[in-house]
Structure 1
Amino acid sequence: MRIGILGAGAIGAAFARRLVAGGHEALLSNSRGPDTLAGLVAELGPGASAGTRLEAARAEIVVLAVPRPQVTAVLDGLPAWDGRILVDATNDFSVRPRPDEPTTSEQVAALAPGARVLKALNHLFAASLAAAPHAAAGNRVLFVSGDDHEAKKQFSAVLTDLGYAPIDLGGLAAGGRLHQANGGPLVGHDLVRLASA
């Protein structure tokens, strides 16, 4: 499967590395243009490519992996989502969210009408995300939250294929809050699901 990645920083590059290692394709984009990603694409090897923001956003599954202040600008002017999956891998460390506020992923969903928005890939540090998903005792856990069951199922199948152990935490409001930066109790925990579990 070809997955578009909006943002080629630490998290975007880490997930692209896992995609390519798992036999999938990663179409990376950034704000400076495809030519500036030639070195990273060469390092990642076959399966990795660079494109524009618009090209990456046309993939069936798109990962949003930019610094939080860039989210609005990156999502502005993209093609209609038409039910494609948008995985919010962003974190906002600048504020501590209040329980009565929408989660950051709910805010992303409001900026991307028509997208089936999931929260994932954000609770691990980039080095852990880039590491092999198979640990000695089992598989590295990745949390997935979202309001669309089929979208979670589809993305979780990709994660499972890569060797991760995806865990569904529920919807964007309740589940997303559990792995939202600056308050989510699951942020930063590099967990392994035992092979026998």
Structure 2
Amino acid sequence: MTGDLPTRHVVVMGVSGAGKTTVARGVAGLTGLTFAEADEFHSEANVDRMRAGVPLDDAARWPWLRALADWMTSRHREGVSTVLACSALKRSYRDLLRQGPPRVDFVHLHGPTEVIRDRMSLRAGHYMPESLLDSQTATLEPLWPDEPGLVLDLQLPTETLITATITQLALPRLTIPATPPVNPR
């Protein structure tokens, strides 16, 4: 990596149904960071496993996580900042993601399993079945004190979560150019 251009890289993390994609898209919209959905990096075999209700093991996750780290590294080399919606359930997974660009901040959307299960029951068209929530919850390792990031209560309003992420990570907001004055002729 050249490191010539400063970039920011944020991973919005948590179990399926926590609201990662919604928050990450909102952050991208207000900051201009390039958004990616980690689910889109899964192999077809991984998607088929999850769709069948079979939890992924580490062997299935490592290539996926490497692809995500490589994606962030490529964007860093281009001078592009990113925000990624990714479960990043274990410290070891986050360690691998941090092997990409020079710094990755994590935003852990955390909350009661019952709330998440209710949200998942309302989703349509997602391959991750509600039945895998328990395995994800059992796998989840909260951020360690030495990991850069923050923990937010997923029960807060979406706008609050987006604003808190931008503010607490000191992400630059997009500036909207002023409307030129109208010529009164």
Higher helix proportion (structure 1 or 2): 2
Higher strand proportion (structure 1 or 2): 1
Which is greater in Rg? 2
Higher RCO (C-alpha under 8 Å, 6+ residues apart): 2
By the TM > 0.5 criterion, same fold? no
State the TM-score, normalized to the length of structure 2: 0.37
